[in-house]
Amino acid sequence: MKIAFIGLGAMGFPMAGHLAKKHEVTVWNRTAEKAAKHASEHGSKHAKTLAECAGAELVFTMLPSSAEVDAIVAELGPKLSRGTLWIDTTSGDPEVSRVTAKRLAAQGIDFLDAPVTGAIVGATNATLSIMVGGTAEAFARAKPVLEITGKKIIHAGDSGAGHAIKALTNSIMGATVWITAECLLLAKRYGIDPRTALEITNAGSGRSNASENLLPLRLAEKQWPLVFKLALHDKDIRIAAAMSHREHMSTPLLNLTTSLFSGALHQLGDNADYIEVAKLVAAMNGDEW
Amino acid sequence: MKIAFIGLGAMGFPMAGHLAKKHEVTVWNRTAEKAAKHASEHGSKHAKTLAECAGAELVFTMLPSSAEVDAIVAELGPKLSRGTLWIDTTSGDPEVSRVTAKRLAAQGIDFLDAPVTGAIVGATNATLSIMVGGTAEAFARAKPVLEITGKKIIHAGDSGAGHAIKALTNSIMGATVWITAECLLLAKRYGIDPRTALEITNAGSGRSNASENLLPLRLAEKQWPLVFKLALHDKDIRIAAAMSHREHMSTPLLNLTTSLFSGALHQLGDNADYIEVAKLVAAMNGDEW
Amino acid sequence: MKIAFIGLGAMGFPMAGHLAKKHEVTVWNRTAEKAAKHASEHGSKHAKTLAECAGAELVFTMLPSSAEVDAIVAELGPKLSRGTLWIDTTSGDPEVSRVTAKRLAAQGIDFLDAPVTGAIVGATNATLSIMVGGTAEAFARAKPVLEITGKKIIHAGDSGAGHAIKALTNSIMGATVWITAECLLLAKRYGIDPRTALEITNAGSGRSNASENLLPLRLAEKQWPLVFKLALHDKDIRIAAAMSHREHMSTPLLNLTTSLFSGALHQLGDNADYIEVAKLVAAMNGDEW
Amino acid sequence: MKIAFIGLGAMGFPMAGHLAKKHEVTVWNRTAEKAAKHASEHGSKHAKTLAECAGAELVFTMLPSSAEVDAIVAELGPKLSRGTLWIDTTSGDPEVSRVTAKRLAAQGIDFLDAPVTGAIVGATNATLSIMVGGTAEAFARAKPVLEITGKKIIHAGDSGAGHAIKALTNSIMGATVWITAECLLLAKRYGIDPRTALEITNAGSGRSNASENLLPLRLAEKQWPLVFKLALHDKDIRIAAAMSHREHMSTPLLNLTTSLFSGALHQLGDNADYIEVAKLVAAMNGDEW
C-alpha cells in the first residue's frame, strides 16, 4: 500500500520505519534532514513537499498537537483522492479531530484519531498500544496496518474517542504520579526510605504504572532524565479538563490536577520532564528527594 | 512457640489458622463464638478471658483500629512477661503505635506495628504483604512467624512506620480509584464504554491496582459487593491526612481526597463498600454507571 | 434617543422602565405579553417583531446568556444602521462578546459588553453597578444612558472585559459563600450558633458580601428564597474557569470551586437558588443548618 | 482591680496600656526590656518574675500560640488564688484551651479564650473585636474589662469557642485573599488593571474584607509591608483544619486552602507577610503584579 508518513519525531521515526518494511512509504518532515535520514536508513521515499504525499492511499500524522495536524489537513487534504484513509496518531484534541473527521468525510476521506501509548521504547519495538476513534469500517481498514507498529489495537468509539481516552488515561497517570509523590514524601518524613516505600507500594494496594515504572528511577535512583516533556503532558491533562468543561461535569480531582500541572509547568519551565513534578511536590514542602 | 491471637475477624481468623498449623495458638475474640469456632476448626485453644493470653511469647492483634488495640494493651500488657513480642497487624495510627511501643518497651516488651495488605483472599492463602515498623531486632524475631501468614515481609522503618506506610498506600489507592472513576465517567460521555475504557487504561499509562483489580467488577460487570468498608478506608485516609498535618506539609491532592472520602462516607453511609465512591462520582454528575 | 430594549426578565423589565422615562424606548421580548405589559405600564412601544427594533440608535440586550444574544445579533444586526451602539447587559461570555464586537464593528456598529450587578433591587432602584468592556469612545457614548439605570458605571477595559470581570467577581463570591458555609458549619459543631458566628465574622477579618448580605437570611433566619438561580451562577463560574483554561493559568481554588458548583447543580437541580449550595455543604457532612 | 498582663508584643503592649489607665496593672514579658518600657510609659508595674503576677485578680495572656500559654499556665497557675479570672487573648487552639480551662477550673480559676481581631491599629485605638469562649458567668465578669480594650465583645460559646471562631474567620479570610488574587490575576490577563478590577469587585458581589482592606495596598499600590506574618496566619488555618479533622468533616475548600498556605509558607519563608501569598499566585502562573 502507498503510505505517506508525516512527522518524524522521536515516535514517528521508528513507526514509519516499521511500516517501510512492508509498504511503500513516503515520509515528510518539517525539518527535511530527518526525512532524508529516514529515507537513507529505512528505504522510504523522502517527500520534499507535502504535495508529494498526495498519491498515498493511507496518510499517517504524528505531530505535537492537533493544531499542527489541522495545518497539514488544510494543505494536503484537498489534494487527496476519495477513499484515502488518514490515521492521526498525534495525542490530539477530540473536539478538533471530530471537526476534522467531518470535514474530510465530506471529501470521502476517512479520518481516524489513533493516539499511541508505550513511549519511545514501544515505538522502537512496535509494541505500542493504539486507541482508535472513528467508524467501525475505517477501524477495520486501519487495523492490519496499525498492527505493524503496535501490539494492542483497540477501537475506543466514534470520532474523537481515541484522542479522548488518551488524554484521560494520561490525566489519570498525572494525578497518580502527584498523589504518590505526596505520600512518599510524607513516608520519608516518617523515616521510610523512598526505595522501601516504593517496594511496599508496589507490593500492595497503591500500586500503579507511576509507582512501578516511573517513580523508582527518580526517587530511588535519583535520576531525572528527560523522557517526556511536562509541557506535552500538561497539554493532555488540559485536553481532559476541557472535555470535562464541555460536558459540564464535576471532576474535582481532575480539576485540581490540572491546576497543579499548569502551575508546575510555569515553575519548572518548558524543558522539564513530566516526572519532575515530584520535585515540585518536595519544594512545596521545603524538602527534596 | 506460644502465640496468642486477638481479633478473629475476616482477616484474623484465617491468619490465626495458618499460625496454628505450626505453633501453639491461643485465640481470643470479643464475640466468644468465633474463638470457639476457631478452636474447633483449627485446633487452637479458646481463651475465655484475655488473662489466659498472658503466657504467650508472642501476641498478635488484628482489630478495627488503634483504639481497640489500646484497650487490649491496657488490660493485657501489665500481665505479660519481659521479652514478649507483640505484633499488631491492625491498620492503625502511627502516632498511637509509637506511644504504645514506648510504653511496652518500658516493660521489656517489643511492639511491632505490622499492618497487612492483600485482602481476605491474601489472608486465606497466606499471601499477604506485611509492612513492619519497629526495631531491626524485633523485626528479625517476627519475620519467620510473619512468613507463615504472608509472602512479602518488609521492614518499613522505626516504630509507626508500618502503620504510616499502610495508611499512605491506601490513600494513594483511594485517590487513584476516584480520579479513575472521574475520567472513566468522562470517557462514557464521549461514547466510550467503561469496559473498553478500562481495557485501554490497563494497556497504557493510567494503569493501577484500582483500574486492574478494583474497578472492572463494578464498572464493567455492574457488581458492587461489600469487600472492604468505606468507613475503614476513610479511616486510613484520615490517618494519612493527620500525618500530613503533624508534619506541617502541603499535600493538596491528599487533602482533597480526604474531603471527598469523608463527604462520600456521610452521603453513602456506614455500610457502603469503599469502591462505591465511584457511584458518588457519577451522582455528582447526575449520572450512573 | 431611540432605544430598543430586548429582554424583559426580572432585571430587564425595570431597567427598560427607567430608560423609558427619558428616552423613546421600543421593547421586544420572546414572550410578547411581557412587552405588552411594559408598554402599558411604562409608556414604551411594544415591538411585535425584532425588525421593529431596527430603527434604534441604541440597542440594549439583557438575556440569559451569550447564546441568546448571538441569535438576536444574527437576526437584528444586519438590519441596523452604521453608528448604532449596542449595549449587552447580559452576564455573558467574554470570548463570544469579543467575536460579536468584531463582527458588528465591521458593520460600523459599536458593541459594548456591560453586565450589571446589584440584583433585582438594584435594577428597580436604578442603583446597579455596571462594568463595561469596549472602546473608550463607545464607553463615553454609553455612559450617560447607563447612568439612568445604574449608580456606578466603570470602564473595565477592551471588548470582553465587562463580561470577564463580571464572571470573575461572581466566582469570587461563589467561593466565598462556600468557604464561609464550611467554616460556619464547623463553628456550629463547636457549639457556636450560626447567628453568633455570622455576627463575629462580620465584625472581623472574614467579612464579605456573602457573610453580610447573603448568608444571614439563610443560616440565621432559615429562609431560602429563590433570588438567583444556581444554574446562572454556575454558568458565570464556568465562564471564569474557561477563561483560566484559555490563559493556561493555574488557579486551584477557582478550579475546585467550579467542580463544587457543577456538582451542586447536578445534585440540587435547576430550580435551586445559588445560596442553597450551603445546604449541600451541610449534607456532605450529614448535617443541616 | 489588680491585673497581670503577660505578653507585650505589638498587640499586647497597647492593650495593657489601656488597662493601666483604669486598673492596677503588673506586666511581665519574656524580654524584660519591653516590660520596663511599658512601666515607664504607661505607669504599670514591671514584674521581674512570673511569680510577681500571682497576686492578680485577673490575668491576661497575649502570646504567639497556645504552646506558650500552656507553659505560663504550668508555671503561674498553681500560684494563683481561687476566684482568679484568666483571659487568654492569644489566637490559640481550641483543643488546648478546653483542656487548660478544665485544669484551671479544678483550682477554682475561670479561664476564657478571648482572641481579638482588628490588628495593631485596633489594639492602639481600643477598637478591637473580641470573641470569647467560656461560661456565661466568667464572660459577664470579663466583659467590662474587655470593653476597655475593644469595641465589640461577643460571647461565642463554651470554652474553646473563642479560639475556634477566630481560627475559622481567619481561614475564611485566607481563602478569600487567595481566590480574589487568582481572579484578579486572570482579570489582568484580560487587560483589566488590578486597580480597576478591585474597584469593580468592591462595587459588587465579590466584595470582602480582603478586597476592600487588604489587597488594594498590595495589588494597586504595589506595597508589600509586613503587617501580619504568614506563619501566624498559616497557624490559624491549620487550627481550623485540625478542627475539621477532629469533627470528621468534609471541607474541601478549607482543606485545599490549608495546603496552599502551607505550601506558600515553605516557599515564601518565615518572614513573609500573609498577603504575599498573592505573589505566589502570580508566580505559579509565571507572572507578577
The CA radius of gyration of chain A, in Å to the nearest whole number, is 20
Please list every residue in chain A whose beta carbon sits closer than 8 Å to the beta carbon of residue B128. none
Mean pLDDT of D53-63: 97
Cell (9 digits) for C122? 438594584
- What's the pLDDT at B119? 85
Please list every residue in chain D whose beta carbon sits closer than 8 Å to the beta carbon of residue A263. 284-285
Instruction: Report the C-alpha gap between B167 and B164 in whole angstroms.
Output: 5
CA distances from A73 to A80, A163, B59 (A): 10, 17, 71
Please list every residue in chain A whose beta carbon sits closer than 8 Å to the beta carbon of residue B242. none
Residue spans of beta strands (DSSP E) within D124-231: 128-133, 150-157
Q: Which of residues 228-257 of A touch C (CB under 8 A)?
A: 238, 241-242, 245, 248-252, 255-256
Would the pLDDT of D119 be above 90?
Answer: no
Nearest residue in chain D measured CA to CA from C233: D205
Q: Find the CB nearest D169 among C191, C205, C260.
A: C205
D160–chain C Cβ distance below 8 A for any pair: yes
Best mutation site among C116, C189, C205 for testing chain D: the one with the most D CBs within 10 Å? C205
Tell me the pLDDT band of A241, cut-offs 50, 70 and 90.
very high
CA distances from B201 to A113, B205, B206 (A): 17, 7, 5
Nearest residue in chain C measured CA to CA from D154: C200
Q: Which residue type is seen at D174?
A: G
Tell me the pLDDT band of D199, cut-offs 50, 70 and 90.
very high
- What's the pLDDT at D186? 98
Question: Are A250 and C260 a contacting pair at CB < 8 A?
Answer: yes
Give per-residue burial for A185-214: e unless 16+ CB within 10 Å, then b.
bbbbbbebbbebbbbbbbbbbbbbbbbeeb
| DSSP single-letter state for residue D273 | B
Distance from CA of D61 to the nearest CA of A (A): 32
Q: Find the CB nearest A259 among C238, C252, C260.
A: C252
A neighbour chains, 3+ CB pairs within 8 Å: B, C, D
Tracing cell 471532576 back to the chain, one arrives at A251
Would the pLDDT of A127 be above 90?
Answer: yes
Residue spans of beta strands (DSSP E) within A128-179: 128-133, 150-157
Helix axes C194-202, C161-189, angle to 10 degrees: 130
Q: Find the CB nearest B245 among D238, D249, D256.
A: D238
CB-CB contact of C190 with D164 (8 Å): yes
Catalytic residue positions of A, numbered: 166
CB-CB contact of D78 with D51 (8 Å): no
Please list every residue in chain B whose beta carbon sits closer than 8 Å to the beta carbon of residue D260. 250, 252
The CA radius of gyration of chain C, in Å to the nearest whole number, is 20
Please list every residue in chain D whose beta carbon sits closer than 8 Å to the beta carbon of residue A266. 283-286
Q: Find the CB nearest B248 among D255, D260, D262.
A: D262
D30–chain C Cβ distance below 8 A for any pair: no
Distance from CA of D24 to the nearest CA of C (A): 30
Distance from CA of D206 to the nearest CA of C (A): 4
* Start-to-end Cα distance in chain B: 51
| DSSP single-letter state for residue A216 | I
Report phi then psi at C10, rounded to 5.
-55, -30
In terms of DSSP H, where are the helices of chain C?
12-22, 32-42, 66-76, 94-105, 119-125, 136-149, 161-189, 194-202, 209, 215, 230-246, 252-268, 277-283
- What's the pLDDT at A119? 85
Instruction: Report the C-alpha gap between C212 and C199 in whole angstroms.
Output: 9
Question: Are C154 and D253 a contacting pair at CB < 8 A?
Answer: no
Question: Are A191 and B161 a contacting pair at CB < 8 A?
Answer: yes
Best mutation site among B179, B195, B213 for testing chain A: the one with the most A CBs within 10 Å? B179
Instruction: Report the C-alpha gap between C214 and C222 in whole angstroms.
Output: 12
D200–chain C Cβ distance below 8 A for any pair: yes
Catalytic residue positions of C, numbered: 166
SS (H, E, C) D58-77: EEEECCCCHHHHHHHHHHHH
Distance from CA of D248 to the nearest CA of B (A): 7
Average model confidence (pLDDT) across chain D: 96
* pLDDT tens column, D230-253: 999 999 999 999 999 999 999 999
Best mutation site among D182, D196, D239, D288 for testing chain C: the one with the most C CBs within 10 Å? D182
Mean pLDDT of C212-225: 96
**For strand D24-28 and strand D45-46, is the pairing parallel, antiparallel, or unpaired?**
parallel
Question: Are B266 and D259 a contacting pair at CB < 8 A?
Answer: no
**For strand D85-88 and strand D58-61, is the pairing parallel, antiparallel, or unpaired?**
parallel
Tell me the pLDDT band of C268, cut-offs 50, 70 and 90.
very high
Instruction: Report the C-alpha gap between B287 and A199 in whole angstroms.
Output: 38
- What's the pLDDT at D271? 93
Distance from CA of C256 to the nearest CA of B (A): 9
Instruction: Report the C-alpha gap between C69 and C103 in whole angstroms.
Output: 13
Mean pLDDT of C8-13: 95
Count of C-beta atoms within a 10 Å radius of residue B129: 22
Q: Find the CB nearest C262 among A241, A249, A259.
A: A249
Tell me the pLDDT band of D41, cut-offs 50, 70 and 90.
very high
Would the pLDDT of D72 be above 90?
Answer: yes
Instruction: Report the C-alpha gap between B256 and A179 in whole angstroms.
Output: 11
The CA radius of gyration of chain D, in Å to the nearest whole number, is 20
Instruction: Report the C-alpha gap between C26 and C35 in whole angstroms.
Output: 9
Distance from CA of D111 to the nearest CA of B (A): 27
Helix (H) or strand (E) holding A63: none
Share of chain C above pLDDT 90, in %: 98
Question: Are B250 and D263 a contacting pair at CB < 8 A?
Answer: yes
Mean pLDDT of A56-85: 96
Would the pLDDT of C119 be above 90?
Answer: no
Please list every residue in chain D whose beta carbon sits closer than 8 Å to the beta carbon of residue C198. none
Q: Find the CB nearest D201 among C169, C200, C205.
A: C169
Query: How far, in whole angstroms, is CA C44 from its chain's centroid?
Result: 24
pTM (two decimals)? 0.95
Tell me the pLDDT band of C149, cut-offs 50, 70 and 90.
very high
Residues of chain B with pLDDT under 70: none
Residue among B34, B166, B188, B235 flagged as catalytic: B166
C266–chain B Cβ distance below 8 A for any pair: yes
* pLDDT tens column, B222-266: 999 999 999 999 999 999 999 999 999 999 999 999 999 999 999
Residue among D2, D151, D166, D222 flagged as catalytic: D166
- What's the pLDDT at B142? 98
- What's the pLDDT at C36? 97
Distance from CA of B79 to the nearest CA of A (A): 31
Distance from CA of A266 to the nearest CA of D (A): 5
Nearest residue in chain B measured CA to CA from D260: B250
- What's the pLDDT at B88? 98
CB-CB contact of C176 with D141 (8 Å): no
Instruction: Report the C-alpha gap between C184 and C187 in whole angstroms.
Output: 5
Burial class of residue A284 in the structure, from the number of CB atoms within 10 Å of its CB (0-12 exposed, 13-18 middle, 19+ buried): buried
Question: Are A179 and B183 a contacting pair at CB < 8 A?
Answer: no
Which residues fall within 8 angstroms of residue D31, CB to CB, at 6 or more apart? none
Mean pLDDT of D117-136: 94
Please list every residue in chain A whose beta carbon sits closer than 8 Å to the beta carbon of residue B285. 249-250
Best mutation site among A284, A287, A288 for testing chain D: the one with the most D CBs within 10 Å? A284
Burial class of residue C39 in the structure, from the number of CB atoms within 10 Å of its CB (0-12 exposed, 13-18 middle, 19+ buried): middle
- What's the pLDDT at D144? 97
Mean pLDDT of A95-110: 96
C67–chain A Cβ distance below 8 A for any pair: no
* Start-to-end Cα distance in chain D: 51
* pLDDT tens column, D80-94: 999 999 999 999 999
Give per-residue burial for B226-244: e unless 16+ CB within 10 Å, then b.
eebbbbebbbbbbbbbbbb
Tell me the pLDDT band of D45, cut-offs 50, 70 and 90.
very high
Report phi then psi at C266, rounded to 5.
-65, -35
CA distances from A227 to A223, A231, B95, B210 (A): 11, 12, 39, 25
* Largest distance between two CA atoms of chain D: 65
Question: Are D253 and C240 a contacting pair at CB < 8 A?
Answer: no
Nearest residue in chain B measured CA to CA from C281: B263
Average model confidence (pLDDT) across chain A: 96
